[in-house]
Structure 1
Amino acid sequence: MKNNFTQSQQNRKRQHKKKKNRQLRMKKKRVSIKNEFQLVTIDPSVHFQNLSTTQELPKKTISNPMDMATSSNPTLLLPNYSKLSDSKFTQMLLTSMSNTINQDAIIELLNQKEILLFIREFTQLVNKFNYSKLQHEQWSYYYNLGMTEGIWNRRVSKKMAEANSMCYTYGRSKNLIKQRLAKYKRQCDKNQEAINQCMKQAPLIIDIQNITTMINDLINKDQYELRLELEKRKTMLRLDAEEHKLAQHFYLLTPRQTEINSAKVIWKAINEQQNIIHEIAIFKKWLQVHTQASSFSLQHIQLPNIYHMVTSLFFQAETSSADHIAQKTIARAEEIEQYYTNLVIIEKNKLQSTRSQHKNVQQLDEIINAILQRQNNMQQRRSYELQGKLINIFKQNAFTPVDLEHTMQHD
């Protein structure tokens, strides 16, 4: 009797264990959009402390900064002609030549070792001069911006920055800008003097005018990405300064805690929405470039949400082709984007619904307008940032920073 009871108990345990394992396998296999949010995010309470809102944000997505090394060191974009092989340097020089210069005559000159060495040295000197000139212009821009608009450097606590979805610091101090201006002015003068001395030693057989034109054309083309990076920094400085200005303006209106909570939710949702918009745009461009790809290799590109979705879909039996997986991934990512869009709408409606109970409706309108102004600047900033990412990854030539600055001045 006792043995029968023990055996029956063991059977029930085995059946229960099998059932639990089966449920666990089924749970792992089902990948819904809800699970996508949970798998790619972390607890929002870390970033939204003391929020009293009925609509919670999905947990924070993995950051996708796409930071390039050139963002901190633009010299990585500066070519070094002294390290190129003779054949490579000659090829680059000939490729950049205008049609007005006799190519056969230039090739004959470049075949002479002494003349090739002179032209290479001259090219590197002009290259260094142009770089120091670009940097001097850059820091002059920062100085003039500080003097005319008061945009120097600003910093808030990282906790404050994270709670309001903004960068915690931007700009340079006035002293640092002055130091950099003096440094690059000295470099310009030194490099110009070196160029003058080099030109005096030019072989009589060469036409220094034609050679200078060729070299300038080559350097102008090779420093294109460097100029883009410096232009990007100018525009990002303005946009970052505007971010801090708009956030400060919002708090100076002395909003109520519920309004602060809604503002944080809206700004957080916009930031996360822009993250997924960036990933979708980069992934779509990647698909265009790799139209014949039968499989995906995305690990060299920082697309955490897209990469997770692609990986999940690969393990589902009903999906097989790369194209099918790509389209389904985009659809899921767009659902996430729409989620954030809806969340912003809900919070805006919540703010509007308090009008009848608000003691000062005019103040409420000013607060709502301040939130929306910050939202627009965030979207403009991230849109500009996306252009830079696409250029860095796919080497496009569609960057137009001047257009954006023109837009900012007329908003």
Structure 2
Amino acid sequence: MQPLKNILINNDNSIDYTDVPDEIFLEMLSTAFNGNTDRLNCLFNEKEKIEFVRHYTALIDRLSYVKLQELQWNYYHHIGITQHIWTRRISKQLAEKNSICYTYGKSKVLIQQRRKKIQKQLQQTQYTIHLFEQQILSKTALYSDCYSEIKSLSSILHTFVYEHQQKLRNEFEYKKQKLILDATDHHLVQAFFDLKPDKLQITTARNVWKATANQTMINEQVAILEKRLSSKHTPPPSTLLDHMIDHIDKVLSTPNDAIDQNVSTNITHDQFEKMNQLKHDIIQQSIITATNMSHNYLDMSLKKNYEESQPSEIQNAVINAMDTRRLYMIERAKYLLQYKLASNFD
């Protein structure tokens, strides 16, 4: 029989199953064989059993991953055909002026190429799994019929892989939604300019959109800080404040025995409590300051720009287009923040 390690697995698997404890694989194997794995003893030793199940899991994970890619790129093709959402790119300078992403989507050619490539990967992976199963079955047939048990194990592993790929499915769904959000945002900006606004109206809109973008960024920081107060998980640091809090967390997470062994470190329990309270105070004060900045900044910006644009100088249609895009920016930011919090803290 061909050694298991020679069965092909591509290197872009979504999950590394080498970190999964051996006990979990043995438990799944035992479940598939109704607790009686003695029949496999003549085929594998204990280490080979684990290698067998771990490898089988990796193959199934690869197949599931390719199927997710197939669904993803089929969606890009569908949305392109039905809603004409392909790729679009504008200059970074123009994107900054309008507070918008400068690129989104996939080209029609790229989508076609990827769909063809994925079909080949799918066929190859399905054949690899079929070959693997046939080799196992042919070997077990020499001693006992394990067909039903192998199929049961396959079902268990599919469920196991499905559960572990939840984060990956969430990521793919996020990319789908973000594509629609970005395309719609560009459409709303274009709808505003299609009304032929004058220079003052364009300046007003851009100032309002910039204020809204700043508000959403501040709101994001506030939400992340609030999460840090109650969550043990922390996102990658992106600001000086994040680095400061991370440094305090590292000190607070230092094991007591490690501190005891280090004679140069004289940190008492009371000092630990004070540092922990300091961290909470920093976060709380940052939340209060950021919240006030967010409200005041947007209110002042909106008031200033709307006062500069008298009703006689700006058409209602232009005002509505500008405000529609502003409200959409807020809703778009809420969705992006929701995903960011879920992926970093859950």
Q: Does TM, normalized by the shorter one, top 0.5?
A: yes
Give the equivalent residue in structure 1 for 2:62: 128
Give the equivalent residue in structure 1 for 2:343: 392
Once the two structures are superposed, what CA deviation does each residue of 1:235-291 show, in whole Å capped at 9, x if it has no partner? 001111111111111111011111111100111011111111111101110111259
Amino acid across the alignment from 2:14: L
Say which of 334, 343, 364 aligns to 2:291.
334
Say which of 104, 107, 116 aligns to 1:170.
104
Give the equivalent residue in structure 1 for 2:204: 262
Amino acid across the alignment from 2:302: I
Query: 1:199, CA displacement in angstroms?
Result: 1.5
Question: In the TM superposition, what are the counterparts of 1:8-407 in structure 2 within 5 Å?
Answer: 78-81=14-17, 83-84=18-19, 88-91=21-24, 94=27, 104-105=35-36, 112-202=46-136, 203-204=140-141, 206=146, 207-289=149-231, 300-304=236-240, 321-347=278-304, 349-350=306-307, 354-355=310-311, 357-358=312-313, 364-394=315-345, 396=346
Aligned-partner Cα distance in 2 for 1:308–1:338: 25
Once the two structures are superposed, what CA deviation does each residue of 1:63-107 show, in whole Å capped at 9, x if it has no partner? xxxxxxxxxxxx9781133x447xx1442673xx59986763369
Aligned-partner Cα distance in 1 for 2:31–2:210: 56
Query: 1:158, CA displacement in angstroms?
Result: 0.9
Aligned-partner Cα distance in 1 for 2:227–2:304: 33
Query: 1:306, CA displacement in angstroms?
Result: 6.8
Query: 1:392, CA displacement in angstroms?
Result: 2.5
Aligned-partner Cα distance in 1 for 2:241–2:319: 31
SS across alignment from 2:35: helix
Query: 1:381, CA displacement in angstroms?
Result: 1.5
Once the two structures are superposed, what CA deviation does each residue of 1:29-71 show, in whole Å capped at 9, x if it has no partner? xxxxxxxxxxxxxxxxxxxxxxxxxxxxxxxxxxxxxxxxxxx
Tell me if the contact between 1:170 and 1:241 (Cα under 8 Å) persists in the aligned partners: yes
Q: Which runs of 5+ in 1 are unaligned?
A: 1-74, 292-297, 312-319, 397-411
Amino acid across the alignment from 1:78: S
Tell me if the contact between 1:279 and 1:305 (Cα under 8 Å) persists in the aligned partners: no
Aligned-partner Cα distance in 2 for 1:338–1:98: 58
Tell me if the contact between 1:166 and 1:243 (Cα under 8 Å) persists in the aligned partners: yes
Count of aligned pairs = 296
Q: Runs ≥4 in structure 1, deviation > 6 angstroms?
A: 305-311
RMSD: 3.1
Aligned-partner Cα distance in 1 for 2:336–2:37: 42
Tell me if the contact between 1:310 and 1:329 (Cα under 8 Å) persists in the aligned partners: no
Judged with a 3 Å threshold, the aligned counterparts in structure 2 of structure 1 residues 299 and 151 are, in CA distance, closer, same or farther, namely: closer
SS across alignment from 1:105: coil
Judged with a 3 Å threshold, the aligned counterparts in structure 2 of structure 1 residues 221 and 272 are, in CA distance, closer, same or farther, namely: same
Judged with a 3 Å threshold, the aligned counterparts in structure 2 of structure 1 residues 309 and 184 are, in CA distance, closer, same or farther, namely: closer
Query: 1:186, CA displacement in angstroms?
Result: 0.4
Tell me if the contact between 2:13 and 2:61 (Cα under 8 Å) persists in the aligned partners: no
Tell me if the contact between 2:90 and 2:103 (Cα under 8 Å) persists in the aligned partners: yes
Aligned-partner Cα distance in 2 for 1:367–1:106: 73
Give the equivalent residue in structure 2 for 1:59: none
Give the fraction of aligned pairs with identical amino acids, expressed as a percent: 32
Tell me if the contact between 1:132 and 1:188 (Cα under 8 Å) persists in the aligned partners: yes
Query: 1:343, CA displacement in angstroms?
Result: 2.9
Query: 1:310, CA displacement in angstroms?
Result: 12
Amino acid across the alignment from 2:104: Y
Query: 1:335, CA displacement in angstroms?
Result: 1.0
SS across alignment from 1:104: coil
Say which one has the larger Rg: 1
Tell me if the contact between 2:101 and 2:182 (Cα under 8 Å) persists in the aligned partners: yes
Query: 1:379, CA displacement in angstroms?
Result: 1.2
Amino acid across the alignment from 1:354: Q
Judged with a 3 Å threshold, the aligned counterparts in structure 2 of structure 1 residues 249 and 219 are, in CA distance, closer, same or farther, namely: same
Aligned-partner Cα distance in 2 for 1:266–1:122: 55
Amino acid across the alignment from 1:379: I
Once the two structures are superposed, what CA deviation does each residue of 1:309-362 show, in whole Å capped at 9, x if it has no partner? 999xxxxxxxx84433332221111111112331343156326x612x34xx7x
